[in-house]
Amino acid sequence: MAEELTKRYARLLAVDRISFQVNEGEIFGFLGPNGSGKTSTIRMLVGLSQLSQGRASVLGYDLASDMSQARRHIGVVPDQSNLYDDLSAMDNLLFMARLYGLPRQDQKSRADRLLRDFGLYERKDDLFGNFSRGMKRALTIAAALIHEPRLIFLDEPTTGLDAAAARSLRRLISGLRQKGLTIFLTTHYLAEADLLCDRIAILARGRIVRIDTPEALKRQVQEQSVIEFSFRGDLSSSISVLQGRLAGSQATLLDRDKIRIYGGDPPEVFDSVFQFSRDIGIGIESASTLRPSLEDAFLKITGQHPQAVMAEKDDGRIGVGRSSGGGRSGGG
Residues engaged in binding Mg ion (CB under 5 A): 38-39
> Which of 40, 158, 249, 302 is in the footprint of ligand ATP by CB under 6 A?
40
Binding pattern for the stretch 182-201 against ligand ATP, x by CB under 6 A and - elsewhere: ------x-------------
Crossing angle of helices 294-302 and 214-223, rounded to 10°: 100
Nearer to ligand ATP by C-beta: 38 or 110? Answer: 38
Under DSSP, is residue 223 helix (H, G, I), strand (E, B) or coil?
helix
- Which partner in Mg ion, ligand ATP, none is near 14 (CB below 5 to 8 A by kind)? ligand ATP
Cα separation, 231 vs 257, whole angstroms: 5
Give the one entry of ligand ATP, Mg ion, none that residue 212 binds, where binding means its C-beta sits below a cut-off of 5 to 8 angstroms depending on kind. Answer: none
CB-nearer residue toward Mg ion: 42 or 235: 42
- Stretch near ligand ATP under the rule CB under 6 A, chosen from 7-15, 102-110, 241-249, 281-289: 7-15
Nearest to 320 by CA among 224, 136, 189: 189
Q: What's the min distance (Å) between Cβ of 38 and Mg ion? A: 5
Nearest by Cα to 225 from 297, 273, 282: 297
List own/partner pairs for 166-170 with CB under 8 A and 24 or more apart.
Answer: 166/134, 166/192, 166/312, 166/318, 167/317, 167/318, 167/319, 167/320, 168/119, 168/134, 168/138, 168/329, 168/330, 168/331, 168/332, 169/134, 169/137, 169/138, 169/141, 169/331, 170/195, 170/196, 170/319, 170/320
Task: Tell me if 326 contacts ligand ATP by CB under 6 A.
Answer: no
Least CB distance from residue 312 to ligand ATP, whole Å?
15
Q: Which is nearer to ligand ATP, 209 or 287 (CB)?
A: 209
Cβ atoms of 188 and 219 closer than 8 Å: no
In what order do the strands lie in the sheet containing 12-20? Answer: 12-20, 2-9, 53-58, 61-62
Q: Which does 249 bind (CB under 5 to 8 A by kind): ligand ATP, Mg ion, none?
A: none
* Calpha distance 162→135 (Å, rounded): 12
Judged by CB under 6 A, does residue 32 bind ligand ATP? yes
Q: Which stretch binds ligand ATP (CB under 6 A): 6-14, 17-25, 174-182, 317-325?
A: 6-14
Strand segments (E) across the chain: 2-9, 12-20, 27-31, 53-58, 61-62, 74-77, 151-155, 182-187, 199-204, 207-212, 226-231, 250-255, 258-262, 284-289
Residue 332 interacts with ligand ATP (CB under 6 A): yes or no: no
| CB-side neighbour CA atoms (13 Å) of 246 | 25
Residue 35 binds ligand ATP, judged by CB under 6 A? yes
Please choose, out of 37-45, 56-64, 209-217, 318-326, the segment that lies near ligand ATP by the rule CB under 6 A. Answer: 37-45
Here's the x/- map for ligand ATP, 56-95, by CB under 6 A: it reads as -----------------------x----------------
Nearer of residues 38 and 177 to Mg ion, judged by Cβ: 38
Shortest approach of ligand ATP to residue 22 CB, angstroms?
A: 17
Minimum CB distance to ligand ATP smaller for 40 or for 249:
40
> Nearest distance from residue 155's CB to Mg ion, in Å?
6
CA dist 168 and 331 (Å) reads 6
The contact set with ligand ATP (CB under 6 A) reads 9, 12, 14, 32, 34-40, 79, 188
